[in-house]
Amino acid sequence: TPAEVALALDVLEDMMGSFEAGNISLGYNFTESPDTADESGIDYTQIGPVKNLLACELAVHFGKELTPTLALMQGAGMSSLYAFTAQTRQVQPPRRMPRGSGNMRLQRVSNFMVPVVQPPISYQTNYMAIGDINDFSQSFVDWLGSESVTTYTYTNTSGLLVSNNTELNGVISYRVECLHSAANFETVTFTVTTDTGRINNVTVNFNCS
- Selection from 195, 183, 91, 95 nearest residue 140 by Cα: 195
CATH of 2-85, one of 3.40.50.150, 1.10.3230.20, 1.10.3720.10, 3.40.50.1240: 1.10.3230.20
* pTM of the model as a whole: 0.55
What ranges do the domains of the chain cover? 2-85, 124-208
pLDDT tens digit string along 175-199?
Answer: 999 888 766 788 889 999 999 999 9
Q: In what order do the strands lie in the sheet with 160-168?
A: 133-139, 171-178, 160-168
pLDDT tens digit string along 86-127?
Answer: 666 666 667 667 666 555 555 566 676 666 777 776 677 888
124-208, superfamily in CATH? Immunoglobulins (2.60.40.10)
